Amino acid sequence: MADIRPYWTVISRAEPKPEAETQFSDWEIWNGNGEPPTGLVQIHRANQSRLEAQTNYTCTSKSFTWVNAISPGAKIIAFRRVIEPVREEIVMTGHLKHFNAGGQMLNDIHRITFPTIDGKIATGEYTGPGGSVIKIEDLS
């Protein structure tokens, strides 16, 4: 009987992909001094409770007026930064090694693409054509 073992090689890492629940840093107090933050932020205005501020949209910090607000209630008193997860893909190709009398090795015949978030493969079950189920589990 032939000894069959999977053989896989990573051939590329693709560009990051979007979409997941937004994560934020802790709230930081803004007193109007210094440079405003950079990147995507969520702001807390003086006329809002913290719970209301948590429902504000996120936008680039350049989109907000950080000093000289039109009214005291519109003044920014705190902000939190959007933490962007690192999204990539790992693409692997592979084949099965068949150790038969002639010692021949088959060429790569499959390609698998795994999405990763912060360097970890996304776990779950995926259903392919014909109803085949592929399971990805974290064993750590």
Which pair of tokens denotes residue 124?
Answer: 């779950």
So what's the pLDDT on residue 101? 34
Amino acid at 132: S
Which pair of tokens denotes residue 25?
Answer: 């840093």
So what's the pLDDT on residue 74? 86
pLDDT over 60 (residue 105): no
Amino acid at 138: D
- Closest C-alpha among 97, 131, 109, 113 to residue 6: 97
> Which region holds residue 68: left if phi is over 0, alpha if psi is between -120 and 50, else beta?
left
Q: What is the CA radius of gyration of the chain?
A: 25
Would you place residue 68 in the very low, low, confident or very high pLDDT band (cuts 50, 70, 90)? confident
SS3 61: helix
Average pLDDT over residues 37-61: 92
Average pLDDT over residues 26-37: 90
Amino acid at 30: W
Average pLDDT over residues 12-24: 62
Return d(Cα 110, Cα 92) in angstroms, integer.
Answer: 8
Q: What is the pTM of this model?
A: 0.52
On average, the pLDDT of the chain sits at 77
Q: Averaging pLDDT over each range in 32-36, 78-82, 131-135, which range is the top one?
A: 78-82
